[in-house]
Structure 1
Amino acid sequence: MSNLQIKLPTDTWVPATWNEYLQIIENPGYEKAKGYYYNGKMRIEMPPVGNDHSRDHSIVIYAVHLFASIKDIDLNGNDNCTYRKTGYDDAQPDASFYIGKNADVIPWGTSIIHLDNYPAPDLVIEVANTSLADDKGDKRLLYEELGVGEYWIIDVKNVQVLAFAVENGGSRKISQSQVLPGLAISLLQDAFRRTREMNHSKVGAWLLSQFQQ
């Protein structure tokens, strides 16, 4: 594992020590990779991602920001940000948000967000095109351990949104967001279905009309 010339398998969990994981993720050859570490294993995800994944990624970020703005909910969002519990856990979710009283808790100038010093994000989102089983499995367990408030999985192929409230070290499926009160998960799912038939500007206009009701 210490020989970085060895080509590592990607998009799968590989046994590794914490130091081995850091060696890999900090290597210039993996500069654009997403890294995860959980339960003595690491997962490296390499770009590029395809059109379907990136479109759903784009619209879910837009929807969250739009809803928060209309409902006057304080919020700051992060795109592919690293969250770390040194020696134990590391994650780079597709999108994540600090909401309400936590909106401004991370100061400018912060690179990696060390959860030894800062709270976990209130909402974490993974967009699953080829990674659905893992997003529902080990990544869900990882986010439970990190203590996020809520976890969404965007199932690209089946056009579904799976939402979980995280509490007491576990998670349960929900139909209404708890960190964005008043947001029905079914409405988000409807928005994703519409993206298969119309462009994002039209879906955005529809979301605006729905959120203003």
Structure 2
Amino acid sequence: MKRLNNTQLPTETWVSASWDEYLKVLDNHIGEKAKTYYNNGQLRIEMSPIGNDHSRDHSIIIHAIHLFAGIHGIDLNGQDNCTYRRVGTKDVQPDVSFYIGKIAETIPWGTGIVNLDQYPPPNLVIEVANTSLEDDKGAKRLLYEELGVDEYWIVDVQNVEVLAFTVENKGSRRIRQSQVLPELEISLLEQAFQRTRLMNHGKVSAWLLTEFQNR
């Protein structure tokens, strides 16, 4: 495990650091485009450029979930790159996250960083993995298990696959149908991603609308 070097900002790797060192890194070095994670004495900074492939899959997964919820009358609020913090031990900034059902409106307007000592974690967390797949399947998966989210999805951009996990008792297992979005088949989302490689999002949205209405 690397140790934080104050003269050089480590990126795309986990580095040993105290909570105070992590906060100092945020204050002194991190621009708006960086994503940051902290878990029990280790920090990770991701500053890889977000290119076309990642951003398009990021966009369509948000749209697909909003569309499904609207058609099926599911209450939810989505957060895009929101920061969740458990002071002193954990800090995460997933690509996408959702509060669903009874806790959909838990986080009030005017909230900046979501304090998980005050509010519950989101029901669903999604990471879009283009260059970070192994970390998303490994260290981040363990981190979200410890935070107690209900489901954790990884959108594998290169393999056009969705790895979905339900989280129980600080562990997780693969699922092929969402439990927080009842009756949503993961395979249908994968089909949508496959279609985005052949057609634009407008056409994919029309296809999703029909599929969601008929199921």
TM value normalised by structure 2: 0.95
Q: Which residue is 1:177 aligned to?
A: 178
Contact 1:25 / 1:33 at 8 angstroms: preserved in 2? no
Cα distance change on mapping 1:143 and 1:155 into 2, 3 Å: same
**What's the CA shift string for 1:57-105, capped at 9, x where partnerless?**
0000000100000000000000000001101111000000000001000
Q: Which residue is 1:40 aligned to?
A: 41
Q: Which residue is 2:164 aligned to?
A: 163
The separation in 2 between residues aligned to 1:154 and 1:15, in whole angstroms, is: 27
The separation in 1 between residues aligned to 2:105 and 2:199, in whole angstroms, is: 35
- Quote how far apart the aligned CAs of 1:25 are: 1.5
- Quote how far apart the aligned CAs of 1:28 are: 5.3
> Structure 1, unaligned stretches of length 5 or more?
none
> Which amino acid in the other structure matches residue 119 of structure 1?
P
The separation in 1 between residues aligned to 2:26 and 2:119, in whole angstroms, is: 22
Cα distance change on mapping 1:33 and 1:177 into 2, 3 Å: same
Q: Equivalent residue of 1:26, what SS?
A: helix
Does 2:110 align with 1:101?
no
- How many residues are paired up? 211
> Which amino acid in the other structure matches residue 121 of structure 1?
P
The separation in 2 between residues aligned to 1:46 and 1:108, in whole angstroms, is: 28
Over aligned residue pairs, what C-alpha RMSD do you find? 1.1
Does 2:150 align with 1:149?
yes
Q: Which residue is 1:86 aligned to?
A: 87
Q: Which residue is 1:212 aligned to?
A: 213
Q: Which residue is 1:8 aligned to?
A: 9
> Which amino acid in the other structure matches residue 126 of structure 1?
E
- Quote how far apart the aligned CAs of 1:125 are: 0.3
> Which amino acid in the other structure matches residue 79 of structure 1?
D
Cα distance change on mapping 1:96 and 1:29 into 2, 3 Å: closer
Q: Which residue is 2:69 aligned to?
A: 68
Quote the sequence identity (%): 70
The separation in 1 between residues aligned to 2:100 and 2:30, in whole angstroms, is: 34
Cα distance change on mapping 1:29 and 1:124 into 2, 3 Å: closer
Contact 1:79 / 1:95 at 8 angstroms: preserved in 2? yes
Contact 2:154 / 2:163 at 8 angstroms: preserved in 1? yes
- Quote how far apart the aligned CAs of 1:47 are: 4.9
Cα distance change on mapping 1:24 and 1:55 into 2, 3 Å: same
The separation in 1 between residues aligned to 2:48 and 2:36, in whole angstroms, is: 12
